[in-house]
Structure 1
């Protein structure tokens, strides 16, 4: 069996998503942390690429789930970055 780039993208994507979930459950990552969010976004992107380029007929439900996963992950990254920035700015306002 020959693996093409989209096959590798899909397998690596699955590993990233599952590893992120495992590390979250093992309390090695935080759910609102950048590493966890990036692992999910990149993993979902890999799976989505494998769905788009790797199958003869599109699996729309799986593809839509991956798109939602990516969008939610990006939202989490932006939300966490904004919260960290606001916390940093609030800390600098109250420094004596």
Structure 2
């Protein structure tokens, strides 16, 4: 396996999403803007990576993940 740019971008996206998950489990008080931004950027990086190394199931998951993150950001924005 070659570690190309798309793979590195995908790994970075995965890392951001894992960081968001860990943050949601260990933070005393969750900052929903930060949480959803990490998830959104992570999913967008993975979507970009998947345009090079396509997988329909992963692409569908990341699109849904991005939509949920956008809705979470919109909800957090309405509260401020």
Task: Place the TM-score, normalised by the shorter chain, in its bin.
Answer: 0.7 to 0.9
**For this pair of structures, how many residues does the alignment match?**
80
Separation (CA, whole Å) in 2 of partners of 1:42 and 1:2: 24
Q: Which residue of 2 aligns with 1:33?
A: 32
TM-score computed with the length of structure 2 as normaliser? 0.87
Q: Which residue of 1 aligns with 2:69?
A: 73
Higher helix residue share:
2
TM-score computed with the length of structure 1 as normaliser? 0.74
Higher relative contact order (CA 8 A, sep 6+): 2
Separation (CA, whole Å) in 1 of partners of 2:28 and 2:42: 18
- Deviation digits for residues 8-62 of structure 1 (CA, Å, limit 9, x no counterpart): 21000000000110111112561x6111100000001111111111x2xx31111
User: CA-atom RMSD, angstroms?
Assistant: 1.7
Name the larger-Rg structure: 1
Runs of 4+ in 1 over 6 A off after TM superposition: none
Task: Label 1:66 to 1:78 Cα distance change in 2 as closer, same or farther (>3 A).
Answer: same
Which runs of 5 or more structure 1 residues have no equivalent in the other structure?
A: 85-96
Separation (CA, whole Å) in 1 of partners of 2:67 and 2:79: 18
